[in-house]
Amino acid sequence: MQITITGISNIAEVQPGNDLPGLILSGCEASGVELQAGDILVIAQKIVSKAEGQVVDLREVEPSPFAKQYAEKWGKDPRQIEVVLRESKRVVRMDKGVLITETRHGFVCANAGVDASNVPGEHMVTLLPVDSDASAARIRAVVKDRAGVDVPVIISDSFGRTWRNGIINIAIGVSGLMPLNDLRGQKDQHGYLMHATVIAIADELASAAELVMGKLAACPAAVIRGYNYEPAEGTAQELVMDPARDMFR
């Protein structure tokens, strides 16, 4: 198998209400990429959130006494702490100025995905999309209508990992492919029967795309070509572990 990953960097700064699929298709054209059947489109969460208006002006946020107390202790902006708390379904752990929370989507991540990086304006932060699977499905449908090709869409975001240094990109929105490859019940080359192996394909694709997208290169999308995925409607919710099986909850 030979896989190529091409960054789509010719995308203008995204504003709330922008036609994001149109901007991405224009970026593909400017980058010399013509979408083909079998391609996979990976899009950074940040531009999806911007286009959907998931942007908060901290000057309009009144922090709670709790947010003020925590922010003062760790030298943080109490308004941003307040936004994190509002975006959280539960706080998993909070220490050293970082809040690990569970979002309404079921994602466990730092600061509920609230982020000030790559956002114009000193007082602006972005939130995660309200429904990132629905966002991926909408983008996929518009791209299919305009480009005449049905390509899976993965919305990716950077998450930290327990017990590992460094962040990687994972899939927080999926449409058009099976996000998991369940190998349970199959035998390996030595005849061993797999009992627990389930590969997070969508996360691996999101992380691979990050190698060309980067954080500082103004490259918010990428096209993966050559990976033999399993077509399916698919959702990122399939990647979220059932709380009943979560030994760390």
Centre a 10 Å sphere on the Cβ of residue 38 and count the other Cβ atoms it contains: 15
The reply to whether 165 and 44 lie within a common domain is: yes
Domain count, the chain: 2
Question: Tell me, what CATH number does 200's domain have?
Answer: 3.30.1330.100
What is the span of the domain harbouring residue 177?
4-54+129-241
- Give the span between the Cα atoms of 129 and 47, in whole angstroms: 10
Cα-Cα-Cα-Cα dihedral of 21, 133, 213, 52, to 10°? 50
Centre a 10 Å sphere on the Cβ of residue 184 and count the other Cβ atoms it contains: 10
Give the residue from 94, 125, 156 where a domain finishes.
125
Sequence-distant (≥ 6) Cβ neighbours of residue 158 within 8 angstroms: 167, 168, 169, 170, 210, 215
Give the residue from 105, 125, 145 where a domain finishes.
125
Q: What is the pLDDT of residues 11-50, one digit of tens each?
A: 989 999 999 999 999 999 999 999 999 999 999 999 999 9
Is residue 169 within 8 Å of residue 109, measured between CB atoms?
no
Amino acid at the residue 153? V
Is residue 41 within 8 Å of residue 149, measured between CB atoms?
no
pTM: 0.94
Amino acid at the residue 161? R
pLDDT computed for residue 83 by the predictor: 97
- Please say if the pLDDT value at position 216 is more than 80: no
The reply to whether 237 and 158 lie within a common domain is: yes
Is residue 108 within 8 Å of residue 248, measured between CB atoms?
no
Is residue 114 within 8 Å of residue 87, measured between CB atoms?
yes
Is residue 125 within 8 Å of residue 111, measured between CB atoms?
no
Q: What is the pLDDT of residues 111-150, one digit of tens each?
A: 999 998 888 888 999 999 999 999 999 999 999 999 999 9
Task: Look at residues 117, 134, 115, 118 and name the one whose alpha carbon lies nearest to residue 126.
Answer: 115
